[in-house]
Amino acid sequence: MTRLLIVGPQGSGKGTQGVRIAQAFGIPAISTGDVFRAAVAAGTELGEQVKAIIEAGDLVSDELTSAVVRDRLSHADAQGGFLLDGYPRNLTQVMHLEEFLEGRDESLDAVIELSVPRDESIARLSLRAQEQGRTDDTEEVIANRLAIYERETAPILGVYGTRGIVDAVDGVGSLDEITDRIVASLEARGLARPAAA
């Protein structure tokens, strides 16, 4: 059972690394964006609520986000562990997740913090915007997103830090180098990858 959370500013590569680490440990990578899209596609009651909010251009509330994630964590594939990406993104969501896990007599094993200098995040996001032709990703918009991360998400690291479960990993380097660093830090905690079949 490996229960992980990956945290990092936009442009830190946490989505890519999250998928790689989840595969290495044989657990599902659960990103809020994917969970929202799946709920909308499935046409569930939660999905319909999410769809209406997103179409209005609003942010999904903490309560609804937590409900959608709780629903996803109750699927069979997440019973043996999971990697969360993008949730919890603030202190209220941390509280929701804690209540849910405590109800299952579980807790997070480790929080991976991908550390990337702010100018590196901005450079990566600017490059991605150019490659994907995303005109909305201006430097100003990117800086605003990073400010929201620093204001709302970074404080959750303080909560988990007091428990001694945060592993700060250098997020600069090749994809393989960063993955190897994360795996090494998790294995140093005694979290073993499943034996190759």
Ranges assigned E (strand) in the chain = 2-7, 29-31, 81-85, 110-115, 166-170
Q: Topology of 2-188 in CATH?
A: Rossmann fold (3.40.50)
Measured at the alpha carbon of residue 84, what is the angle toward residues 82 and 87, in degrees to the nearest 5? Answer: 145
Nearest to 16 by CA among 64, 95, 85, 107: 85
Q: Annotated catalytic residue: which of 14, 20, 124, 181?
A: 14
Is 89 marked active-site?
yes
Residue 124: active-site member: no
Give me the residues paired with residue 83 across strands: 4, 29
Question: Domain extents for the chain?
Answer: 2-188
pLDDT of residue 181: 97
| pLDDT value of position 196 | 62
Helix (H) or strand (E) holding 96: helix 91-103
The answer to whether 189 is a known catalytic residue is no
Q: Please report the pLDDT score of residue 163 as a whole number.
A: 95
For 98, other C-beta atoms within 10 Å of its C-beta total 14
- Active-site hit among 51, 118, 128, 193: 128
**pLDDT score of 58:** 82
Q: Does the annotation mark 51 as catalytic?
A: no
pLDDT at 140: 84
Active site residue 163: no
Spell out the per-residue pLDDT of the chain, length 197, in tens. 899 999 999 889 999 999 999 999 999 999 998 899 998 999 989 899 999 988 888 888 999 999 999 999 999 999 999 999 999 999 999 999 999 999 999 999 999 999 999 888 888 888 888 888 877 778 888 888 888 899 999 999 999 999 999 999 999 999 999 999 999 999 999 998 887 64
CA gyration radius, the chain: 17
Pick the catalytic residue from 72, 89, 124, 181. 89
The pTM score is 0.90
